[in-house]
Amino acid sequence: MSESAAKRGWIVGLTGASGAAYGVRLVERLLDMAYPVHLLITDAGWRVLKEELDWDAAKRAATIETKFAGRNARATYYPIQDIGAAVASGTFRVNGMVVAPCSMGTLAAIAHGLSDNLLERAADVTLKEGRKLVLVPRETPLHAIHLENMLKLARMGVSIVPASPGLYHRAQTVEELVDFMVGKTLDSMGIDHELYRRWGEGSPHDEAE
């Protein structure tokens, strides 16, 4: 990791799809690796954080400060309707953006160039500036519109990383499944990690067999 890339950091968005743990774990890993994070959470994303992880959605900025304290970089939280925030401009330098989890509504908005909130605007800026954009959709089953929107984005160079963790590493906990998906996301971002053992490296549970 170059010093300039570390200073630029990443934009991370969380939306109303199930799977808030994917986004939270990704932020934790980026901060631990000294990447600053510019954090965007939709109103529906806050609802999922409350339902799935018991986060306090009433005190949003304070909750973020508490949850990500004591790491090697800082998570800066932006209210979702703050269209004038730094990340809304292409002149604000970042390495790229990840939306994890990404709802089908947000994915559709990005595919069609909408900018109804700061997350959508930041994604639009990421595309127009030619930066890395990674989406982690979590939905099933998928209908034709979902698939057409993903295809449209993939043809534009967006990395689509469906939240479908592999089982070959024989995970024993939900946390290991989450780490697998976060690891796949980091792979798409071009960031080295050791969150899971790759195919051919053996199972982490071989010693116990």
- Residue 4 labelled as part of a binding site: no
Residues listed for the chain: 209
Cα separations (Å) of 203 from 11, 155, 174, 182, 196?
A: 33, 35, 16, 18, 9
Residue owning tokens 């127009």: 128
Rounded to 5°, angle at Cα 155 from 144 and 117:
75
Contact present, 156 and 144 (Cβ < 8 Å): no
- CA pair distance 97, 167, nearest whole angstrom: 27
4: alpha, beta or left, given left = phi > 0 and alpha = psi -120 to 50? alpha
- Residue 22 labelled as part of a binding site: no
59: alpha, beta or left, given left = phi > 0 and alpha = psi -120 to 50? beta
- Residue 105 labelled as part of a binding site: yes
- Residue 168 labelled as part of a binding site: yes
- Residue 106 labelled as part of a binding site: yes
- Residue 138 labelled as part of a binding site: yes
- Residue 128 labelled as part of a binding site: no
What residues does 135 pair with on adjacent strands? 99, 160
Residue owning tokens 């997350």: 119
SS3 call for 110: helix
- Residue 61 labelled as part of a binding site: no
Strands (DSSP E) along 9-131, which ranges? 10-14, 37-41, 75-78, 96-102
Write out the binding residues for dimethylallyl phosphate.
Answer: 168, 184
Write out the binding residues.
Answer: 16-18, 42, 103-106, 138, 168, 184
Write out the binding residues for FMN.
Answer: 16-18, 42, 103-106, 138
